[in-house]
């Protein structure tokens, strides 16, 4: 079995209706967070930031990394003609932005959207690990809102 490690960001922005999460659309029913493979000598947060910029145009200075949040997706899939079994781990960090418009990379995604939690959960429900990451991110944000208002 081949092991693969990727990293990405759960990106959100504050709105009057609550946090909205950035999801990238890759065709069919597949929506997910910006992410990609860790390159040699690269740390996971560096990868998450690089991949997010490549896929969305959001630069490091346009993102505020939320300290204390780290979540994981772990799953197995088959790849290539000879159907190699791959065990993949994706490390996610949480980042806030105030930008509404992004520039998606057409070779990475077909579109994007900013979604309230319930709508994002609806899109991710068939991907249990992604839905769990989103739920953890939303809970983390709500807890930080409560701390700020205390």
Number of domains within the chain: 1
pTM for this prediction = 0.91
Q: What is the domain-level CATH number for residue 7? A: 3.90.79.10
pLDDT digits (tens, 9 = 90+) for 2-46: 899 999 999 999 999 999 999 999 888 899 999 999 998 999 999
* pLDDT > 70 in the chain, percent: 95
Per the DSSP assignment, residues forming a β-bridge with 93 are: 9
Mean pLDDT for 111-116 is 95
Structural tokens at position 14: 């504050």
Mean pLDDT of the chain: 92
Write b or e for each residue in 93-126: b if 16 or more Cβ atoms lie within 10 A of its Cβ, otherwise e.
Answer: bbbbbeeeebebeeeebeebebbebeebbebbee
Please report the beta strands in 2-147, taking only residues with DSSP state E, as ranges in sequence order.
2-13, 20-25, 31-32, 35-37, 64-65, 71-79, 84-96, 111-116
pLDDT band at 71 (very low <50, low <70, confident <90, very high): very high
Instruction: pLDDT band for 147, please (50, 70, 90 cuts).
Output: low
Range of the domain at 37: 2-149
Rounded distance between C-alpha atoms, residue 31 and residue 138, angstroms: 17
pLDDT over 90, % of the chain: 75
């Amino acid at each position: 079995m081949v092991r693969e490690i990727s990293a990405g960001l759960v990106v959100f922005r504050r709105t009057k209706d609550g946090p909205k999460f950035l999801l990238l659309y890759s065709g069919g029913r597949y929506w997910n967070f910006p992410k990609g493979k860790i390159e040699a000598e690269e740390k996971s947060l560096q990868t998450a930031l690089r991949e997010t910029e490549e896929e969305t145009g959001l630069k490091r200075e346009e993102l505020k990394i939320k300290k204390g949040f780290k979540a994981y997706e772990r799953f197995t899939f088959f790849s290539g003609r000879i159907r190699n079994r791959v065990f993949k781990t994706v490390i996610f960090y949480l980042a806030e932005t105030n930008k509404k418009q992004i520039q998606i990379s057409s070779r990475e995604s077909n579109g994007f959207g900013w979604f309230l939690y319930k709508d994002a959960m609806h899109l991710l429900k068939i991907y249990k690990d992604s839905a769990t990451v989103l739920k953890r991110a939303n809970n983390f944000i709500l807890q930080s809102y409560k701390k700020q208002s205390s």
